[in-house]
Amino acid sequence: MRPLIAIPCHPALREGTSRPIYGNNRAYVHAVESAGGVPVLIPVLNDLSALDSLLSRMDGLLLPGGLDIQPHYYNEEPHAKLGEIEPILDEFEFALAQWAITEDIPTLGICRGMQLMNVAFGGSLYQDLATHIEDSLFHPNWEMPRNTIVHEVYVEAGSQMERILGQRKVEANSLHHQGVKNPGKGVRVSGRASDGVVELIEVPEKRFMLGAQCHPEELYNEYDMWHKLFAAFVAACVSPVVRTLEKVEQAVNVSVR
C-alpha cells in the first residue's frame, strides 16, 4: 500500500480572473509520486480543528517552499528586507508541523518548509542573507530556471543526509533569500554552502525529519541523489500497520515454503 503524503496548499489568485484559489507547484506532487507516495494536497482550512479528521489518515508531511515566515514566530521584529508574508498560511503550516513533531510523522521540509521546521523546534532565521552574512553567495536566483545548479552543498560526515544522498558534496539550485540562523532544539545542521549558509538539516531524535534549503523537487529527475532523498522520505512514510502486515505476509510465505 502506497503511503499518503500531505502537501499543504497556499492561497493564490488565478491569473486573469484574480479568483481566489488554493494550489502548489506540480513538481512537489510528481517528486513524491515518482518515489512511490500518493501526494494529497491539503487546503488552508478556516477551522484548523478539522485537520484532526484528515491528518489521522496521512502517513507523511511535505512542507513546501513559499513566502517568508512572520518573524514574531522566532521573537524578532520585521527587517526592512523581509519579503511577502501570509499570516493565515503561517498559522496553518505551523499547525501541521506541530502535528508532525508531536506524532513523530516523517517530514520533509523544502526551502520555506525547512525554515519553518527549524522555527517550530525553537530556532531562528536570517531575514535576509545578503544583509546579515558578509560575502554570502547570491541565493535568491528567482529569475533563473528552477533547475539551474547554482552552488554545491557540503554534507556533514556521519549525518543521515550523507547516508541517504550517498556523497559528501552535492549540486543544488538556490531560490531563497532567508536561511537558518540558530538551529532549533534537537536540530542538527547536516549541510552548508561554501559561504556557511545552512542548506541541510535533520532531527536525529525523530523517525524521519529532514530539510533541504534547495528545491530537490526540481532536480530529482536529473540528479540521482535528490531522487534518493524522496525515495527515503516515502519509504519512511510507510505506516507501522503496513509494516506489520508485510512482516506477517513474509512470515506466512516462509512457513508455506
List the Cα angle 232/67/21 in 5-degree steps. 90
Give how far Cα 21 sits from Cα of 12, 17, 56, 160, 240, Å.
5, 11, 25, 37, 35
Secondary structure of residue 33 in the 3-state scheme = helix
Q: Cell 529532514 sits at which residue? A: 210
Question: Strand pairing partners for 155?
Answer: 191
| Catalytic residue (one of 111, 151, 202, 218) | 111
Tell me, yes or no, if 9 is annotated catalytic.
no
| Catalytic residue (one of 86, 217, 218, 237) | 217
Distance between CA 183 and CA 229 in Å, rounded?
A: 21
Give how far Cα 240 sits from Cα of 51, 98, 118, 244, Å.
21, 20, 26, 6
Tell me, yes or no, if 217 is annotated catalytic.
yes
| Catalytic residue (one of 202, 214, 215, 218) | 215
Tell me, yes or no, if 156 is annotated catalytic.
no
Distance between CA 9 and CA 12 in Å, rounded?
A: 9
Between strands 60-63 and 107-110, the pairing is parallel
What are the catalytic residues? 111, 215, 217
